[in-house]
Amino acid sequence: MIGDDAEVKSALSTVLAPEGWKLEQSSNLDDALALAKSRQFDLIVTSRNTSGNQDVEFLRRLRRVRPHTRIIILTGDSTPDDVIASMREHAFGYLSKGFSIESLAETVRTVLETPTWDDGIEIMSATPNLITLAVRCTIVAAERLLQFMREVADLPEEERHNVGMAFREMLLNAMEHGCQFDPEKYVEICYVRTKHMVMARIKDPGDGFTLDEVRHAAIGNPPDDPIAHVIRRNEEGMRPGGYGVMLAKNLVDELIYGEKGNEVLLVKYLPGFDVPKPES
């Protein structure tokens, strides 16, 4: 742990101590780098008193001596460019101003539960307004990406929440049904932020489907039987759920599937923009 933040220290100790992990503190980034050079650490957590830019530079220096050390960046001063740079340098997590101690604790728990971590997020091209990447089909990679994207998204709070929820549902759908959570497979992501809207395209390597075929999802229920998919999922031994597509459709303005059914486009118009009306 870098710095002397009592609240962060308490949260880390609560998570780490019961599992037998030892917590060591460093006063600043330079001291932390010296310690990391002297021996291997399983996780480094930065101070929220440093900027995202400073933490990313520390991460670059760390990668030269410890390429695989996991790092969670905490910062009170961040930009979308800092978040993207942290992804390029393979930060495990990134939490900026206003983050909750509970979200930090949850990210640390994920570290503890993922001993064989490798990055899983590959940036193909990225600016704050256009990001293209490939994500390994694992729950850990999905949750990490969602955290990064929440930090990148420069959106009003309601839109940030709705887009984030819809994106999560569609991403996990792609990983579960298009990849069967096969860690050797990747989902393609493209995120676009314009002046008036935000768009996200998700494409999986599966065979695709049509909405008429998805009897295991609520979106495919007949009008007179709103829980038909629940019975179907029980019969097939599937986990509870099946509401992802229906939920996403109600959180964004447009949800468009490609011809094959293995790619979906989410569109959310921002406040002040007149939503286009279909031609009659």
Query: Can you list the alpha helix ranges (DSSP code H) found in 95-178?
Result: 101-112, 139-152, 157-173
pLDDT of residue 117: 72
For the chain, the 3-state helix, strand and coil shares in percent, each to the nearest 5, are 40, 20, 40
Distances (CA, A) of 29 to 3, 89, 105, 191, 268: 9, 16, 21, 32, 39
Cβ-contact 214, 264 below 8 angstroms = no
Instruction: Give the integer Cα–Cα distance in Å for 170 and 166.
Output: 6
Domain end marker among 116, 148, 173 = 116
pLDDT at 236 over 80: no
Res 155: pLDDT: 87
**Residue 30 sits in the same domain as residue 141:** no
- The number of folded domains in the chain is 2
Q: Is the pLDDT of residue 10 over 70?
A: yes
Looking at residue 213, the DSSP 8-state letter turns out to be G
Q: Give the domain CATH number at 74.
A: 3.40.50.2300
At 241, which CATH number?
3.30.565.10
Do 109 and 124 belong to one domain? Answer: no
Instruction: Give the tens place of pLDDT for each residue, 81-106.
Output: 999 999 999 999 999 977 888 999 99
Cα Rg, the chain, nearest whole Å: 21
What does the pLDDT look like over 130-189, one tens digit per residue?
999 999 999 999 999 999 999 998 888 899 999 999 999 999 999 998 999 999 999 999
pLDDT at 19: 86
User: How confident is residue 114, by pLDDT bands cut at 50, 70 and 90?
Assistant: confident
Whether residues 98 and 237 share a domain: the answer is no
Q: Are residue 161 and residue 228 in the same domain, yes or no?
A: yes
- Nearest 5°: the CA angle 108, 113, 118 is 90
> Is there a single domain that holds both residue 258 and residue 140?
yes
Assess whether 20 and 133 both reside in one domain: no
- Quote the pLDDT of residue 99: 85
Regarding whether 271 and 134 lie in a shared domain, the answer is yes
Considering the domain architecture, whether residues 174 and 207 belong to the same structural domain is answered as yes
Residue 223 sits in the same domain as residue 126: yes
pLDDT at 112: 86
Q: Which amino acid is present at 263?
A: E
pLDDT digit string (tens) for 13-38?
Answer: 999 998 899 999 999 999 999 999 99
pLDDT higher than threshold 80 for residue 240: no
Counting other chains too, the contacts that 252-261 makes at CB distance below 8 Å and 24 or more residues apart are: 252/162, 252/163, 252/166, 255/166, 257/211, 258/203, 258/208, 260/207, 260/208, 261/208, 261/209, 261/210
Q: In terms of domains, do 273 and 140 share one?
A: yes
User: CB–CB of 85/54 below 8 Å?
Assistant: no
pLDDT band at residue 278 under the 50/70/90 scheme: low
d(CA 41, CA 12): 15
Query: 95, 116, 137: which is the final residue of a domain?
Result: 116
Mean pLDDT across the chain: 88
Rounded to whole angstroms, how far apart are CA atoms 202 and 82? 24
Domain boundary among 71, 101, 116: 116
- Mean pLDDT throughout 52-69? 95
* Same domain membership, residue 135 and residue 257: yes
Q: How far apart are CA 3 and CA 192, in angstroms?
A: 36
Percent of the chain with pLDDT over 70: 85
What is the rounded distance in angstroms from the CA atom of residue 139 to the CA atom of residue 153? 21
If asked whether residues 197 and 95 sit together in one domain, one would say no
* Domain housing 29: 1-116
pLDDT higher than 50, residue 229: no
Beta bridge partners of 43: 70
